């Protein structure tokens, strides 16, 4: 705490260490809860000694024996135990700086811009010397006070008046023969005279000194001659005037405060010094506004840095399409944190600037969060569709569902979940909206429902087709193995019964899937066509050359080798083998004719092949085969050529059997 800082060095350079030094003094977050005091006065009038006594500071004090000026430039210390910054300014005689009066003026401007209180240190015997060094300086202070604080005051101090300054005269080596009251009136008189001689801006010609300055007077005894009294008096001044207490005359009034938040002080003083150095106009309200902009930007940038770091964890997953459940909270929390962070420091700066910058920050935050929102809404849409699909298929697995109910319940549930979750991430105060996505979701859910329904219909049709295939396979084989005049009636009769059952089962299930009559009619047509094609394939298979040939041979053998009672014949020479052979062969060839066409005895048994209804194509896909199938042609089983070829091959087989029978008779005779 005892450290000090050379704020402006001998080369008139401003220190870069003020900001960290304020941090070390624990003032960075003090806001307005601090003050600045500066001291003025001729050289070697015990200013530094006074400050050290009053505030426990550690400014250099002139060595008694050397008597050389010690304070060069401007130093700063923090008062012990009080949130007060003390500036020790180079003495005003310019003795060692020669004619460099310039620096005095500049340091006066600088001090006035920062300090609530100017301590004017003077010997008692200087009182009344109107031309004294201090008095010239005071005139300067009063003049610049106008240009510095009043110029644009309306713009930047809209609610409060321009700040006041306390000029606290410290009269040193007070002997006591002239009472303080007399000294006060002499000095007050002098100061009024100075005030009157100061040229004032237009409209303020009649301004009172007391509008801008308060005057205070204290005396101190000789430090070396009356050390105890000196000590006593300095601690009284410290306690009475600079320490907040109920009994004292605390002099650091709020109206003296320059309204520079502690965190902006370093930047402010630096700018002020630069202006002063370059002899530029020093217009504090404008400086305050500029400072407000500068600091608000800085504070906002800091807040944004923290803000961005909070989003790192959620940004990537949201971008790659993952639904991040905690996103709403993260967005709200990080936004609040950033604004709180901004507010906690920035609110002390010029209100209009603060409000504007806050709006900008809010806007930046929203712009940053907006893509996260958009992506998350997209993710919600995808999640809703995926989950809806899953749920639909799962619920359709059960045996007893009502499709329209399932769709209704499930879609309401999914739309509501989407709305809830989208609302959750829609930040207040933004124009973000999920309505468009919601509308799209509704459309997509309808598409999913429709797709799911046609999937289920297709599944159903495929299942039925397979079971028709299996059943038809059995009765086709049985019927075709035992050809007779009713062969096709039997096949078709069984077939018609089978598809009647399948149709009933299909219609029941399709109705549960909410199919319209038209849809059912169209898709049932497909079921029937596919059933016929299955049947016809089975017939084709059962009428292949090898199977038919085998079948004819079996029929022939049964007829030729067995008698009417089913007893196997043992050929005797008396048997008319030839006649029996011719008879069996003819019988078999007659049966072969039955396989030519699918032609029932009873015309009613004939299957009615349904024509393709184009509307079916909206619901399911039909195979090319089904689309181009020629029912009439399918009624023909064997072509003429094929039949002739089969008959020929059969005759050869029959001949062989006949020859074999003949031989068996010859051999039995020769034995
Ligand atoms: P500064 O140049 O105004 O900062 O003065 P300093 O504080 O360095 O003191 C200059 C000299 O004045 C030193 O030798 C001090 O001992 C002496 N001094 C300090 N206080 C008093 C005082 O109250 N009366 C007198 N006569 N001398 C003092
Ligand atoms: Mg000094």
Query: Is the pLDDT at 183 greater than 90, yes or no?
Result: yes
- Is 479 one of the annotated binding-site residues? no
Ligand 1 touching residue 345 (CB < 6 A):
no
Q: Is residue 236 part of a domain?
A: yes
Question: Is 500 buried (19+), middle (13-18) or exposed (0-12) by CB count in 10 A?
Answer: exposed
Whole-angstrom distance, CA of residue 638 vs CA of residue 598? 10
User: Which tokens is 26 given?
Assistant: 């624990």
Q: Is residue 440 part of a domain?
A: no
- Is 46 one of the annotated binding-site residues? yes
Cα(141) to centroid(ligand 2), Å: 20
Query: Is the pLDDT at 20 greater than 70, yes or no?
Result: yes
Whole-angstrom distance, CA of residue 85 vs CA of residue 260? 13
Whole-angstrom distance, CA of residue 388 vs CA of residue 448? 8
Ligand 1 touching residue 15 (CB < 6 A):
no
Rounded-to-5 percentages of helix, strand, coil across the chain: 60, 5, 30
- What is the structure's pLDDT at 95? 47
Which of 372, 398, 433 is the last residue in one of the domains?
433
- What is the structure's pLDDT at 151? 60
- What is the structure's pLDDT at 158? 46
Residues 472-522 pLDDT 10s: 999 999 999 999 999 999 999 999 999 999 999 999 988 888 888 888 888
- What is the structure's pLDDT at 611? 86
Ligand 1 touching residue 91 (CB < 6 A):
yes
Q: Is residue 621 part of a domain?
A: yes
Domain that holds residue 113: 4-279
- Is 45 one of the annotated binding-site residues? yes
- Local structure of residue 595 (DSSP, 8 states): T
Residues 255 and 224 in one domain: yes
Residues 405-450 pLDDT 10s: 899 999 999 999 999 999 999 999 899 999 999 999 999 999 999 8
Q: Is residue 439 part of a domain?
A: no
| Region for residue 594 given its phi and psi (left: phi exceeds 0; alpha: psi -120 to 50; beta: otherwise) | alpha
Residues 240-280 pLDDT 10s: 889 887 777 888 888 899 989 999 999 999 999 999 888 78
Which ligand sits nearest to residue 54's alpha carbon? 1
Residues 603 and 527 in one domain: yes
- Ligand 1, from 44, 49, 229: best to mutate by most atoms within 8 Å of Cβ? 49
Residues 405 and 516 in one domain: no
Residues 363 and 466 in one domain: no
Cα(289) to centroid(ligand 1), Å: 40
pLDDT band at 599 (very low <50, low <70, confident <90, very high): very high
Ligand 1 touching residue 47 (CB < 6 A):
yes
Nearest CA to ligand 1 atom 9: 46
Which ligand sits nearest to residue 224's alpha carbon? 1
Q: Are 217 and 169 in contact (CB under 8 A)?
A: yes
- Report pTM: 0.74
Which domain CATH number covers 238?
A: 3.40.50.300
pLDDT band at 155 (very low <50, low <70, confident <90, very high): very low
SS3 label, residue 38: strand
Whole-angstrom distance, CA of residue 477 vs CA of residue 539? 8
User: Half-sphere exposure (CA, 13 Å, Cβ side) for 452?
Assistant: 25
Which of 233, 259, 279 is the last residue in one of the domains?
279
Q: Are 222 and 45 in contact (CB under 8 A)?
A: no
Residues 632 and 578 in one domain: yes
Other CB atoms within a 10 A radius of the CB of residue 203 amount to 8
Residues 63 and 187 in one domain: yes
pLDDT band at 152 (very low <50, low <70, confident <90, very high): low
Helices (H), 484-544: 487-512, 517-542
pLDDT band at 306 (very low <50, low <70, confident <90, very high): very high
Cα(29) to centroid(ligand 2), Å: 30
Whole-angstrom distance, CA of residue 155 vs CA of residue 287? 12
Q: Is residue 285 part of a domain?
A: no
Domain count, the chain: 3
Whole-angstrom distance, CA of residue 376 vs CA of residue 543? 64
* CA-based end-to-end distance of the chain: 146
Task: Write down the residue that tokens 């105890």 correspond to.
Answer: 228
Residues 104-149 pLDDT 10s: 888 888 999 999 999 999 999 888 776 566 677 888 888 888 878 7
Instruction: Give the ipTM.
Output: 0.99
- What is the structure's pLDDT at 131? 59
Helices (H), 320-426: 327-346, 351-395, 403-425
Residues 540-589 pLDDT 10s: 999 999 999 999 999 999 999 998 888 888 888 888 889 999 999 999 99
Question: CB neighbours of 411 closer than 8 A, spacing ≥ 6?
Answer: 388, 445, 449
Q: Are 532 and 609 in contact (CB under 8 A)?
A: yes
| Region for residue 222 given its phi and psi (left: phi exceeds 0; alpha: psi -120 to 50; beta: otherwise) | beta
Ligand 1 touching residue 483 (CB < 6 A):
no
- Pick the closest to residue 23 from 341, 259, 301, 262 (CA basis): 262
- What is the structure's pLDDT at 96? 44
Ligand 1 touching residue 223 (CB < 6 A):
yes
- Pick the closest to residue 8 from 339, 273, 328 (CA basis): 273
Ligand 1 touching residue 42 (CB < 6 A):
no
- What is the structure's pLDDT at 667? 76
User: Half-sphere exposure (CA, 13 Å, Cβ side) for 141?
Assistant: 30
Find the Cα–Cα–Cα–Cα dihedral 523, 525, 531, 536, rounded to 10°. Answer: -140
Q: Which residues pair with 562 in a beta bridge?
A: 568
Residues 254 and 311 in one domain: no
- Pick the closest to residue 273 from 257, 289, 287 (CA basis): 287
**CB-based burial, 567-602: b 16+ in 10 Å, e otherwise:** eeeebeeeeebeebbeebbeebbebbebbbebbbee
- What is the structure's pLDDT at 244? 83
Residues 135 and 180 in one domain: yes
**Greater confidence, 244 or 325?**
325
Residue 122 backbone phi and psi in degrees, to 5: -155, 150
Find the Cα–Cα–Cα–Cα dihedral 57, 62, 65, 68, rounded to 10°. Answer: 170
Cα(43) to centroid(ligand 2), Å: 7
Atom of ligand 1 nearest to the CA of 121: 3
Residues 384 and 456 in one domain: no
Ligand 1 touching residue 48 (CB < 6 A):
yes
Q: Is residue 186 part of a domain?
A: yes
Question: CB neighbours of 607 closer than 8 A, spacing ≥ 6?
Answer: 492, 495, 496, 532
Q: Is residue 562 part of a domain?
A: yes
Question: CB neighbours of 220 closer than 8 A, spacing ≥ 6?
Answer: 50, 170, 171, 172, 173, 174, 230, 233, 234
SS3 label, residue 97: coil
Residues 30 and 94 in one domain: yes
Residues 457 and 401 in one domain: no
Atom of ligand 1 nearest to the CA of 230: 23
Cα(227) to centroid(ligand 2), Å: 19
Which of 369, 403, 433 is the last residue in one of the domains?
433
Residues 317 and 253 in one domain: no
- What is the structure's pLDDT at 156? 47
Query: Is the pLDDT at 68 greater than 60, yes or no?
Result: yes
Helices 284-319 and 262-277: angle between axes, nearest 10 degrees: 130
pLDDT band at 628 (very low <50, low <70, confident <90, very high): confident
Whole-angstrom distance, CA of residue 670 vs CA of residue 661? 15
What is the mean predicted confidence (pLDDT) over 31-58? 92
Query: Is the pLDDT at 163 greater than 50, yes or no?
Result: yes
Cα(46) to centroid(ligand 2), Å: 7
Q: Is residue 441 part of a domain?
A: no
Q: Are 75 and 7 in contact (CB under 8 A)?
A: yes
């Amino acid at each position: 705490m005892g450290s000090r800082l050379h704020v402006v060095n001998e080369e008139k350079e401003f220190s870069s260490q003020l900001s960290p030094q304020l941090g070390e003094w624990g003032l960075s977050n003090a806001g307005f809860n601090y003050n600045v005091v500066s001291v003025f006065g001729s050289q070697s009038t015990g200013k530094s000694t006074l400050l050290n006594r009053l505030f426990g500071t550690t400014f250099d004090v002139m060595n008694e024996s050397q008597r050389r000026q010690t304070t060069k430039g401007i130093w700063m210390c923090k008062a012990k135990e009080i949130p007060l910054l003390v500036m020790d300014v180079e003495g005003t005689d310019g003795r060692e700086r020669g004619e460099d009066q310039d620096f005095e003026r500049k340091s006066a401007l600088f001090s006035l811009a920062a300090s609530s209180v100017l301590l004017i240190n003077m010997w008692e015997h200087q009182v009344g010397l109107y031309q004294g060094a201090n008095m010239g300086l005071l005139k300067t202070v009063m003049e610049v006070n106008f240009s510095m604080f009043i110029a644009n005051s309306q713009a930047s101090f809209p609610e409060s008046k321009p700040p006041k300054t306390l000029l606290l005269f410290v009269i040193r080596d007070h002997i006591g023969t002239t009472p303080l009251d007399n000294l006060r009136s002499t000095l007050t008189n002098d100061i009024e005279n100075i005030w009157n001689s100061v040229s004032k801006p237009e409209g303020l010609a009649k301004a009172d000194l007391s509008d801008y300055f308060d005057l205070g007077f204290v005396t101190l005894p000789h430090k070396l001659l009356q050390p105890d009294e000196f000590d006593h008096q300095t601690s009284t001044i410290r306690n009475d005037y600079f320490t907040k207490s109920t009994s004292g005359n605390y002099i650091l009034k709020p109206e003296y405060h320059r309204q520079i938040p502690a965190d902006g002080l370093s930047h402010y003083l630096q700018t002020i010094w630069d202006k002063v150095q370059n002899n530029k106009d020093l217009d504090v309200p404008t400086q305050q506004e500029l400072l407000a902009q500068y600091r608000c930007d800085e504070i906002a940038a800091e807040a944004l840095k923290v803000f961005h770091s909070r989003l790192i964890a959620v940004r990537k997953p949201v971008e790659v399409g993952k639904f991040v459940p905690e996103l709403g909270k993260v967005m709200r929390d990080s936004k609040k944190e950033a604004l709180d962070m901004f507010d906690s420091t920035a609110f002390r700066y010029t209100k209009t600037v603060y409000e504007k910058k806050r709006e900008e920050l809010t806007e930046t935050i929203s712009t940053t969060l907006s893509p996260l929102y958009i992506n998350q809404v997209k993710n919600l849409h995808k999640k809703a569709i995926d989950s809806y699909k899953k749920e639909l298929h799962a619920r359709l697995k059960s045996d007893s569902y009502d499709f329209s109910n399932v769709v209704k319940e499930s879609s309401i549930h999914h739309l509501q979940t989407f709305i809830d979750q989208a609302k959750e991430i829609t930040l207040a105060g933004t124009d973000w909206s999920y309505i468009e996505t919601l509308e799209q979701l509704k459309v997509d859910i309808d598409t999913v429902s429709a797709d799911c329904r046609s999937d289920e219909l297709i599944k159903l049709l495929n299942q039925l087709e397979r079971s028709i295939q299996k059943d038809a396979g059995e009765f086709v084989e049985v019927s075709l193995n035992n050809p007779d005049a009713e062969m096709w009636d039997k096949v078709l009769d069984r077939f018609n019964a089978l598809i009647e059952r399948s149709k009933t089962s299909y219609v029941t299930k399709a109705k549960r899937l909410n199919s319209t009559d038209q849809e059912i009619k169209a898709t049932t047509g497909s079921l029937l066509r596919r059933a016929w094609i299955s049947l016809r394939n089975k017939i084709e298979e059962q009428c292949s050359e090898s199977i038919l040939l085998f079948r004819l041979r079996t029929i022939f053998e049964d007829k030729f080798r067995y008698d009417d009672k089913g007893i196997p014949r043992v050929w005797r020479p008396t048997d008319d083998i030839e006649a029996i052979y011719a008879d069996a062969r003819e019988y078999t060839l007659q049966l072969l004719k039955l396989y030519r066409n699918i032609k029932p005895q009873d015309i009613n048994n004939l299957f009615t092949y349904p024509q393709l209804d184009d509307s079916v194509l909206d619901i399911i896909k039909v195979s090319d085969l089904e689309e181009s199938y020629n029912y009439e042609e399918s009624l023909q089983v064997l072509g003429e050529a094929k039949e002739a070829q089969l008959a020929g091959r059969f005759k050869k087989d029959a001949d062989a059997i006949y020859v074999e029978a003949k031989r068996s008779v010859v051999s039995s005779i020769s034995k």
